[in-house]
Amino acid sequence: MADNEGAPPPTTTQDERDLLQYQSRIDRPLTLKVPEFSRDERLRHVIFSRQFSVDLLEDLAGTADKIRQLSKVRAGQDFLIGLLSHKRTMLYFTQPSTRTFLSFMAACQILGITCNEVRDPSTSSETKGETRFDSIRMFSSYFDLIIMRSPVARLAEACAYLMNDLAATGNRSVPIVNAGSGADQHPTQALLDIYTLQRTFQFASPKDSPIGTRFDEIRRQFPQLTRGLAHKFYGFCGDIGRGRTVRSLADLLAGYEGVTLAFVAPRHPTLSLGDDLRQRLLTCGVRIIEAESLEEPIDGRPLIEQLDALYMTRIQKEHNNPADEAAFTAIDFSRYKLNRELVSRMKCYAPILHPFPRDQHFGEIPPEIDADPRAMYFRQARNGMWIRAALLAHIFNVDHQISRYFHERFEG
């Protein structure tokens, strides 16, 4: 008999071995898991973007708008900062991050939450053989919330089960927020992407509002245009296969009625739309278009001219394996870069989004586009701070307090 009888197969990585104890729960359909991530009709843990219903997205956007307004004046800032000044959070980020880390930190600061961080596991006891789960349990002893980013897909989900098991046995347990888990999910990025779209598509139809708005001219040009995210045509371009932000946002958009999602990527299994996401979107009744270029004609007109919003992504070459490297030499990657000419053919209101970082060497969005009013990516990143603050207010159940204060002091 082999020496390693009973041991995991030799191809299994330490990460996979760590997750084995949660595997049967991880493998369940999402509908069974989602209730376990809520408590008292509120999100307890934030693990997947599909935990957010369209109603909850509207609610969070409303809270984010109020936090944004309150933050403009000293009295509003003082009110917000007092709300959660008794809470502490751990930012456990073992994968590079600029915006997600800093915007979560800023969101905590807006609400008075104290932040602490572990970013480099080589400075933690994981180098002494401590498991990630022991680390997480320790964090939960000292902090009230754990926001985590990891290269390991499903680790945040497993940590949420660990916390639920601790709660069930009468132990201390805190919420887990997934700030990016491997190639898998990035639910709070999807939240800020949706919030940016919600703020963009505020076109009042003549029925919604008889008074003139800055959208009047757009309404004249596009009489069919309706307020909100439903019935719109969204384009995703670049590294569709490996982009966790694409997966999370597409999952959320699928919750809106009558959307079309176009995925523009090279026809290569690593880079194009994955089967699992395609199946999920089809099940939700989404119209899917897969194209190799933004210029590809769809129903007789180039795709780029039909989009209501364009989501650019960078090619995640740090994940290339040697076989990919060889196959990619045959691909014309220039098709996945924007330029002035392409942008000039887009609808005049269609926002250009990008989760960032953009790759200056590849140049999927060259800086010459930045001055275009449709370039939304810097505002999108700032929106991340407001919507993450709204999410924290939801988790800690102070969102109604924010609404009350806002209505009494600012609208009353």
Contact residues for ligand NCD, defined by CB under 6 A:
99-100, 180, 186, 189, 244-245, 314, 316, 355-356
CB of 257 to ligand NCD, least distance (A): 27
**Residue nearest to ligand NCD as judged by C-beta position:** 355
* Inter-residue contact 63 to 390 (CB < 8 Å): yes
Least separation in angstroms between residue 208's CB and ligand NCD is 32
- Given the complex with ligand NCD, which of 163 and 309 has the nearer CB atom? 309
Q: How far is the CB of 407 from ligand NCD (least distance, A)?
A: 33
Q: Which is nearer to ligand NCD, 387 or 402 (CB)?
A: 387
Rounded Cα distance, 297 and 294, in Å: 9
- 76/182 with CB nearer ligand NCD: 182
Is residue 143 within 8 Å of residue 173, measured between CB atoms?
no
Which is nearer to ligand NCD, 180 or 235 (by Cβ)? 180
Minimum Å distance from CB 387 to ligand NCD?
13
Shortest Cβ 186–ligand NCD spacing (Å): 5
Cβ contacts of residue 236 below 8 Å, gap of 6+?
243, 246, 249, 250, 261, 262, 263, 264, 311, 313
Q: With respect to ligand NCD, which residue has the nearer C-beta, 149 or 347?
A: 149
Identify which of residues 173 and 189 has a Cβ nearer to ligand NCD in the complex: 189
Report in angstroms how near the CB of residue 62 gets to ligand NCD at its nearest: 24
Least distance (Å) between residue 144 CB and ligand NCD: 23
The CB-of-180 to ligand NCD minimum distance in angstroms stands at: 5
Q: Which residue, 140 or 189, has its beta carbon nearer to ligand NCD?
A: 189
Tell the smallest beta-carbon distance from residue 154 to ligand NCD (Å).
Answer: 15
Q: Which residue from 334, 333, 379, 332 is spatially nearest to 352, judged by alpha carbons?
A: 379
Beta bridge mates, 309 = 234
Task: Please list, residue by residue across 155-174, b when 16 or more beta carbons sit within 10 angstroms of its beta carbon and e when fewer do.
Answer: bbbbbbbbbbebeeeeeebb
Report, in Å, the least distance between residue 60 CB and ligand NCD.
Answer: 18
- For ligand NCD, the closer of residues 63 and 245 by Cβ is 245
- Residue 137 Cα distances to 18, 89, 90, 103, 144, angstroms: 14, 13, 12, 24, 12
Neighbours of 373 (CB within 10 A): 9
Q: How many beta carbons lie within 10 A of that of residue 342, not counting itself?
A: 16
Query: In the complex with ligand NCD, which residue's Cβ is closer, 87 or 247?
Result: 247
Tell me whether residue 164 or residue 188 sits nearer to ligand NCD (CB atom): 188
Of the pair 76, 241, the CB lying nearest ligand NCD is at 241
What is the nearest approach in angstroms of ligand NCD to the Cβ of residue 316? Answer: 6
